[in-house]
Structure 1
Amino acid sequence: MRYGMNPHQSASVVAGHGPRVINGEPSMINYLDALNALALVREADRATGRPAAASFKHVSPAGAALAGAVDATAARSWRVGQAEDEAVLSAYVRARDADPRSSFGDAVALSRPVDLATAEFLRAVICDAVIAPGFEPGTVGVLASKRGGRFLILEADPGRVPPATERRDVLGVTIEQDRDAVPVATVLPGDAGLEETTRTDALLGLAIVRYTQSNSVALVRDGAAIGIAAGQQNRVDCVRLAGAKARTWWLRRHPFTEHLPDAEGMGRQDRLNWQVRFAGQEMTPAQLRDFEFLFGTEARSRYEDAAWRGEWVATLSGVTMTSDGYLPFRDNVEHAAAAGVSTIVEPGGSARTGEVADSAAAHGIAHVQTGLRLFHH
């Protein structure tokens, strides 16, 4: 490999059949991101029958989505027009739009072959790698010219089945376990009374948390993640973080955010970063001064006004939350309700699951227990 986890560490693949390296030289993190992302999109595609895409950073997804309608905000932000609903490009645009600041410099995974429209889009955004089960004619040439010829292109074998067991070495200790291979569709109760769109969101959400570093929670709406929390040490922080990301995603769709004045010479990613800071109300004093200089005093007044934020966030609804572990306390439900969650899918089995279910019912939230924990480390 180019190097291991860090540039001062050497690394090599010593066993196993990995993806074919078409262009570039992968590091260990590139491999970990690509392989975990590939597993996620394959499972999401298999469970729903729709093309899937993921945007991975540091071995967890910043976003993941199924092919579907690209809304007006995402279309304007990414300058794609209305991508075809069933095209793999629509899946990636929706995945990247979940948390565009975190997706900067991501590894891209697609469940279907890369077409020319997707290759042209990837060439125009800041990403480091792509893994897919194939590449249509002409696409490799488009992608290989990216990053001065260093862009990493990996081709996955669509027919490859991972081994039944997996191993990990830590400080000279080799640990072997069964691969986590229970299909998520088999553990989502058919009698849960979920509408088809909600069930699809739940299946995508379960695939997401299966390949997100634990503890993890995913908030999904209309076949796309709008908030993912990874690697938290307690469950309620997962819900709060995912909820904060979902609210920022929704506030980016408010006219105040969308129609910030254009700043001369500002590129797409910089504008997106300012919109995220504005929507999330998270600027430092220095950033706030820069923001006022770039966008004007009226925009700063809007930034500091809490009234419109609360009114707009209250309209967010139809969100499905999935959790890789059980919800231990009812406060998880209360934070979920504040993020527009109408369905919670979790393993269940906590000593307080009854209280959690009662809280969900009190908030008008459907509560589904799968019995399957999906920790990933």
Structure 2
Amino acid sequence: MAERRRALLSTYDKTGVVDLAKVLVRAGWELLSSGGTAAVLAEAGITVQPLAELTGFGEMLSHRVVTLHPAVHGALLADRDDPTHLADLAEHGIEPIDLVVVNLYPFASDPGIELIDIGGPTMVRAAAKNHAHVGVLVDPSDYAGVVDEVEQTGELSVDTRRALAVRAFEVIADYDVQIAGWMRTGALQPEASASPANQEGEDVTDISALPERLTLAATRSAVLRYGENPHQVGARYRTGNGGCWDDAVQHQGKDLSYLNVYDADAAWRLVWSLGDGPAAVVIKHANPCGAAVADDLLTAYRRAHEGDPVSAFGGIVAVNRDLTGEVAEALSPVFTEVVVAPGYTPEAREILAKKKNLRLLETTAPTEPELQVRSISGGLLVQTTDQGGFDRAACVTVTERAPDEAEWLDLELAWRLAAKVSSNCIVLVKNKTAVGIGAGQQNRRDAGRIAAEKAAGRAVGGACASDAFFPFRDGLDAAADAGATCVIQPGGSVRDDEVIAAANEAGMAMVFTGVRHFRH
């Protein structure tokens, strides 16, 4: 059998394929190709053998069958250290193929039945399985290393082929996960919906929202400065087509750490959940310490910062409007780790450029994931995402007095914030500004006490939100003592009547939502 090297090139993404082919030809390799790749190579003056000439068959079934042939897969799968395999090749007149260059249809960006690639993954798997003899390239970003090696030695080393095989199997796994997810939730089934459980979690939810087999695939898209602590390593991974953090532009500052991204994501999702008006939030350890909605962004930021200026030190700021020079002036004296905004005016950039350690991130609006996944020992916990939100029409007034319009506006903001604060939590709001937040306490009374202490009298005439029901009237009494005149809570306690009576005694308006927002 003649000693010669052959490569099969069949790419959807033509980036770099001409330069790669030229290097292979100079090194004495023969090229096989078909369809669009063959046309691109021919246009560049590169000689290729048409795949149809190799197999004796042209493309069939609207391009569904092109490479599925023994002349291709026998050439890829033959173990050249096995005499019987070599005999089979000789009997059928098949010459080995030493390199496959394939990248797959971009299924995630435009899913559909005809973009489920069959021949490409089959060739990739065959070449990767037989990496002892065959190389496989699935990503143009890997071409440069192969080019250097071929130019130096004329072939690929065992170590290179093995590394490329690992990469190939990762790409195929990710591709299959994309298809399975689309077929499960997008192509073949209607949108799943979950019926809410009661406050004790006794109702059985519609489990169709959670697949029996959860297939996850993620691609590392950014190496972080470090993990949660400096002795840990960290990275950000992209799932599917990615999201706002893949679109983000960092204008200045040090590289992002794990907590920078985690807290920035919490801030960014929160600020976009507060409605349509200009809004600003300050996040510390993934919890809001300040938040406000106002008629203009400067007022919103000032009020958000004033909500808890002590905790705002070293925090994350997010705004839902382009950050202007006047907001930058207000923000500049405060030590802030990260600012996230949809854009910055040139004046704002100039002002904030003086703060060398401040990280400025600009990105698009966030999206909420369909599922939340957490690691536990030996497995994962998975749940549908709590979308939060507020529906005034669904609220039930349970007291003698109903909220007035100003109270409703404060109740809405308090409720939206409570959905994003670690449990147990109490949130106090006045004039669409968070004035006291008690987060992450083991009991609701302590959460209320902390919120009232932070409010320091500023909650008078404002609203109180509790992420879960008040188990005793003491929590309601604490809200009244802080000056709140209205309360929003899920309801559902065996002592609801006692709590309602307490509200009536204090002249407070109270509404039940029927929805709990625990957050751990």
Residue of structure 2 aligned with 1:64, choices 291, 303, 311 = 291
Please, which of 17, 21, 25 is the counterpart of residue 243 of structure 2? 17
- Identity over the aligned pairs, expressed in percent? 37
State TM-score, norm by structure 2. Answer: 0.53
Is the 1:187–1:372 Cα contact (8 Å) retained in structure 2? Answer: no
1:29 to 259, 262, 265: 259
Indicate conservation of the 8 Å contact 2:413/2:432, yes or no.
Answer: yes
Q: 2:54 matched to 1:54?
A: no
Q: Aligned-pair distance for 1:103?
A: 1.0
* Matched positions, count: 287
Q: CA deviation at 1:142?
A: 2.7
Q: Mark the CA change 1:162 to 1:331 in structure 2 (over 3 Å): closer, same or farther.
A: closer
> Which amino acid counterpart does residue 209 of structure 1 have in structure 2?
A
Check 1:317–1:334 CA distance in 2 against 1; reply closer, same or farther (3 A cut).
same
CA contact 1:167–1:176 (8 Å) conserved in 2: yes
Which residue in the other structure is 1:78 paired with? none
SS in 2 for 1:341: coil
Of 437, 442, 454, which residue of structure 2 is paired with 1:228?
A: 437
**1:180 is the counterpart of 2:386:** yes
The alignment partner of 1:124 has SS state of: coil
Residue type matched to 1:363 in 2?
A
What does residue 464 of structure 2 align with? 321
The CA distance in 2 between the partners of 1:171 and 1:114, in whole Å, is 43
In 1, Cα distance between equivalents of 2:272 and 2:374? 23
AA partner of residue 59 (structure 1): A
State the match for 2:501 in structure 1: 358
From 482, 488, 505, the equivalent of 1:339 is 482
Report 1:35-114 matches (<5 A): 35-44=265-274, 46=275, 49-67=276-294, 86-114=295-323
For the residue of structure 1 that corresponds to 2:272, the secondary structure is: helix
Q: 1:191 offset after TM fit, Å?
A: 6.7
1:37/1:211 contact within 8 Å kept: no
**Distance (Å, rounded) in 2 between the aligned partners of 1:134 and 1:360:** 44
Alpha-carbon displacement from aligned partner over 1:332-377 (angstroms, at most 9, x marks no partner): 1111111001101000001111110111111111111001111112
1:14 partner SS: strand
TM-score when scaled to structure 1? Answer: 0.72
Specify the SS of the correspondent of 1:201: helix
C-alpha contact (below 8 Å) 1:144/1:153 kept by paired residues: no
Verify the 8 A CA contact 1:317 1:342 in the aligned structure 2. Answer: yes
Answer yes or no: is the 8 Å Cα contact 1:228–1:245 preserved in 2.
yes
- How far is 1:137 from its partner? 2.9
Larger deviation, residues 170-179 vs 213-222: 170-179
Structure 1 SS opposite 2:373: strand
User: Structure 1, residues 52-106: CA drift from partner, whole Å, max 9, x if none?
Assistant: 1111111111111112xxxxxxxxxxxxxxxxxx221111110111111111111
- 1:231 is displaced (CA, Å) by 0.5
C-alpha distance after superposition, 1:16-65 (max 9, x if no partner): 43431413311111112111111111111x2xx32111111111111111
| 1:138 match | 347
> RMSD over aligned Cα, in angstroms?
1.9
- Change in Cα spacing, 1:171 to 1:141, as seen in structure 2 (3 Å) is farther
1:162 equivalent among 362, 365, 368 = 368
Q: CA-to-partner distance for each residue in 1:231-284, whole Å, 9 max, x for gaps?
A: 00001111111111112x64xxxxxxxxxxxxxxxxxxxxxxxxxxxxxxxxxx
Deviation at 1:135, TM superposition (A): 1.7
Residue 102 of structure 1 aligns to a residue whose secondary structure is helix
Q: 1:101, 1:150 → 2: CA distance?
A: 20
Amino acid corresponding to residue 8 of structure 1 in structure 2: H
Larger of the two Rg values belongs to structure = 2
2:322·2:343 contact (CA, 8 Å) conserved in 1?
A: yes
Separation in 1, partners of 2:472, 2:393: 23
- The structure-2 alpha-carbon separation of the partners of 1:121 and 1:162, relative to structure 1 and needing over 3 Å to count, comes to same
SS at match of 2:367: coil
For 1:194 and 1:173, locate their aligned partners in 2 and report how far apart those are by CA, in whole Å: 46
Q: Which amino acid aligns with 1:346?
A: Q
Larger mean Cα displacement after TM superposition, 185-194 or 364-373: 185-194
Aligned equivalents of 1:327 and 1:21: distance in 2? 43
Q: Aligned partners of 2:233, 2:284: CA distance in 1, in Å?
A: 21
CA distance in 2, matches of 1:190, 1:237: 27
Q: Closer, same or farther in 2 for the Cα pair 1:131/1:221, shift >3 Å? A: same
Taking the aligned partners of 2:455 and 2:504, their CA distance within structure 1 comes to 22
Tell which has more relative contact order, 1 or 2 (C-alpha 8 A, sep 6+): 1
In 2, distance between residues paired with 1:187 and 1:219? 22
Aligned-partner Cα distance in 2 for 1:174–1:144: 42
AA aligned opposite 1:64: A
Cα drift, residue 150 of structure 1: 2.5
Structure 1 residue 200 corresponds to structure 2 residue 385: no
By how many angstroms is 1:134 displaced?
A: 1.8
Cα distance change on mapping 1:172 and 1:141 into 2, 3 Å? farther
Partners in 1 of 2:491 and 2:477 — Cα distance?
17
Give the secondary structure class of the aligned counterpart of 1:131. strand
Change in Cα spacing, 1:168 to 1:107, as seen in structure 2 (3 Å) is same
Q: Which runs of 5+ in 2 are unaligned?
A: 1-223
CA gap 1:52/1:343 in 2 versus in 1, 3 angstroms: same
Q: Which AA in structure 1 matches 2:271?
A: V
* Matched residue SS, 1:184: coil
Report the alpha carbon displacement of residue 190 of structure 1 after superposing the two structures with TM: 7.8
